C-alpha cells in the first residue's frame, strides 16, 4: 500500500521511541504468559500517528504490531494505543477448537498415508471455524465515524490471521473513534534485521492485511499521494463529486476533504461516472489543479479503460481493433442520457482493442458470452465509452451492468474500469503513470 498520510513527523517520533527503547528509558514488554524463544527474538513494527483534536491541537499516538507486546514508559504526552481486540478475548475464542486441532495435528504425525487427506480436511475445518470466531470480534471505526465489522469490510471472505493487528488499523481506528484528524503516520521496524525487514527503516502498511481493510477505514483506496496531488482507485457506486441534495454528498471529493482538511475546496480535475471504477486524480493545491485541468483540456492525459460487453463483437463483424468517431449531445427531455446528433453533437473519438471472449456469470447466475475490450478515449465526452458500446452507431452491444444504455441485474455493477492513466506532474515535470487492475 502507498502510505496514506505524510510520514515525516511521525517517522521522527518513531526514531525517538526506538532511541528511548535502546536507552532503556522505555520498555517493550509482553502482555501474554507463554512466549516462545523464537517469538521473543522477533522484531516488531512501531507505529506513530500525529493527529489534530477538536481543539486543533496536535497529539501523538503510538502502538506496536500484534497483540502480545506493548511499550511501557512515558514518551512526551503521547498515548499508547492498545490492540483492537485483547489477547485474552482471542484466546477465549480459540479455546473451543484448540484441543481438537492439537489432537488432529498429533494424529497427522503418526497416521497412515491414506488417512492424511481426511485428517487434514477435519483440521482445516476446525481452524477456519476458530478463525471466523476471532474475526467476529473485530470492528473498526472508519472515516465517517461509523463502526464496521471486519466481516462486513471483507464481504464475508476469510481474511488472513492477524488482520487488524498491524499498527495502521489500530491507530486509524483510535483516531476516527475519537474524532481526530490524522496529519502524519509512519511505521518503523525495530529488532534484528531480516531479509524482509531492516531495523530502523520505515515501511508502508502491508498489502496482505492492511490492503484489505484500510481502504474501507479511510474511505479511499490511495495509490499515490504527495503535496500536490493524490491518485485513488474509485469504487463503483460512489459519486466522484457531490450532487444536489443530502443523499448525494458522499463522494470521492468529500471523503478526500474529510481526510485532508487543508485540501482546496474543489480538488477534482476530472470525473468518473458513479458506476465506473478506477483511477482518478485530484489536486491538493490551486496551482496543481490549474495545471492538471489544462492537461485534460488539451488532451495531454492518456487514459485506458477495460470493459465487459454483453455479447460477442466478432459476430457483428467488428474488427479486432480500430477507432470510431461519434457525435452525441444531452437528451434534455431525458437527463442524463446522451443521444446521437450528427449536427449538434460533440465529437467523441474512441480507440478500441478486443482483448478476449469469455464466460460471464451474473449475480442471478445467468451465464453468457461476453467480450473484454480495452478502450482508449481521445476525447472526454459524457458517457463516451458507454455510448461507443451500446449505441447503434458504435458497437450496438452495451457494457454489462449499464443502467442507462443496457441492462443491470440486481447486485450487478457497470463493468467499466479506468485501468491506466498518464500525465505530467504539475510541480516536478515528471511523467507519472499508473496501472490499476479491475476486479472483474
Rounded CA separation 385/377 (Å) = 8
Query: Contact, 383 vs 404, CB < 8 A?
Result: yes
Distance CA 12, CA 10 (A): 5
DSSP per position, 140-158: EE-TTS-EEEHHHHTTT--
Non-local (6+) Cβ contacts of 3 within 8 A are 185, 186, 204, 205, 225
Q: Which residue has the cell 479506468?
A: 418
d(CA 430, CA 1): 22
Contacts of 134 (CB under 8 A, 6+ apart): 85, 90, 93, 94, 161
Cell of 276: 465506473
Q: Which residues contact 345 (CB under 8 A, 6 or more apart)?
A: 326, 327, 328, 329, 339
How would you classify the pairing of strands 302-309 and 44-52?
Answer: unpaired
Catalytic, 331? Answer no
Task: Report the alpha-carbon distance of residue 276 to residue 407 in Å, rounded.
Answer: 15
Describe the chain by its helix, strand, coil percentages, rounded to 5. 30, 30, 45
Question: Nearest 5°: CA angle at 313, between 312 and 316?
Answer: 105
Residues ≥6 apart with Cβ < 8 Å to 22: none
Q: What are phi and psi of 233, to 5 degrees?
A: -100, 100
Q: Give yes or no for a cis peptide into 272 (omega within 30° of 0).
A: no
How far the first Cα of the chain sits from its last, in Å, is 21
Q: Which of 6, 165, 273, 310 is catalytic?
A: 273
Distance CA 189, CA 65 (A): 10
CA Rg value for the chain: 26
| Residues that are catalytic | 273
Amino acid at each position: 500500500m502507498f502510505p496514506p498520510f505524510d510520514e515525516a513527523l511521525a517517522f521522527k517520533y518513531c526514531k525517538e521511541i526506538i532511541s528511548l527503547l535502546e536507552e532503556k528509558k522505555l520498555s517493550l514488554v509482553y502482555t501474554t504468559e507463554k512466549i516462545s524463544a523464537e517469538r521473543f527474538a522477533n522484531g516488531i513494527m512501531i507505529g506513530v500517528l500525529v493527529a489534530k483534536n477538536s481543539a486543533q491541537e496536535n497529539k501523538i499516538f503510538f502502538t506496536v504490531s500484534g497483540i502480545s507486546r506493548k511499550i511501557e514508559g512515558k514518551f512526551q504526552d503521547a498515548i499508547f494505543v492498545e490492540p483492537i481486540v485483547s489477547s485474552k478475548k482471542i484466546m477465549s475464542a480459540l479455546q473451543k477448537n484448540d484441543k481438537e486441532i492439537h489432537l488432529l495435528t498429533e494424529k497427522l504425525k503418526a497416521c497412515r498415508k491414506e488417512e492424511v487427506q481426511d485428517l487434514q480436511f477435519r483440521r482445516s475445518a476446525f481452524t477456519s471455524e476458530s478463525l471466523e470466531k476471532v474475526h467476529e470480534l473485530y470492528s473498526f471505526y472508519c472515516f465517517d465515524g461509523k463502526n464496521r465489522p471486519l466481516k462486513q469490510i471483507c464481504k464475508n471472505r476469510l481474511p488472513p490471521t492477524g488482520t487488524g493487528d498491524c499498527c495502521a488499523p489500530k491507530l486509524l481506528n483510535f483516531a476516527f473513534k475519537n474524532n481526530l484528524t490524522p496529519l502524519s503516520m509512519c511505521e518503523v521496524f525495530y529488532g534484528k534485521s531480516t531479509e524482509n525487514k531492516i531495523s530502523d527503516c520505515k515501511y508502508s502498511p502491508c498489502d496482505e492485511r492492511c490492503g484489505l481493510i484500510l481502504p474501507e477505514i479511510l474511505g479511499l483506496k490511495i495509490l499515490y499521494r504527495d503535496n500536490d496531488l493524490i491518485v485513488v482507485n474509485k469504487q463503483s457506486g460512489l459519486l466522484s463529486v457531490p450532487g444536489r441534495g443530502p443523499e448525494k454528498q458522499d463522494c470521492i471529493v468529500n471523503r478526500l476533504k474529510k481526510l485532508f482538511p487543508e485540501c482546496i475546496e474543489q480538488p477534482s480535475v476530472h470525473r468518473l461516472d458513479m458506476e465506473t471504477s478506477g483511477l482518478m486524480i485530484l489536486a491538493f493545491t490551486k496551482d496543481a489543479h490549474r495545471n492538471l485541468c489544462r492537461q485534460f483540456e488539451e488532451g495531454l492525459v492518456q487514459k485506458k479503460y477495460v470493459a465487459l460487453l454483453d455479447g460477442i463483437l466478432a459476430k457483428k463483424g467488428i474488427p479486432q481493433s480500430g477507432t470510431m468517431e461519434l457525435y452525441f449531445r444531452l437528451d434534455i427531455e431525458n437527463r442524463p442520457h446522451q443521444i446521437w446528433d450528427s449536427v449538434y453533437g460533440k465529437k467523441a473519438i474512441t480507440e478500441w482493442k478486443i482483448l478476449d471472449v469469455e464466460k460471464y456469470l451474473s449475480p442471478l447466475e445467468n451465464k453468457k458470452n461476453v467480450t473484454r475490450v480495452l478502450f482508449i478515449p481521445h476525447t472526454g465526452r459524457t458517457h463516451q465509452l458507454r455510448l461507443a458500446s451500446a449505441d447503434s452507431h458504435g458497437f450496438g452491444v452495451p457494457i454489462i451492468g449499464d443502467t442507462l444504455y443496457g441492462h443491470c441485474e440486481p447486485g450487478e455493477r457497470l463493468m467499466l474500469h479506468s485501468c491506466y492513466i498518464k500525465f505530467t506532474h504539475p510541480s516536478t515535470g515528471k511523467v507519472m503513470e499508473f496501472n490499476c487492475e479491475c476486479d472483474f
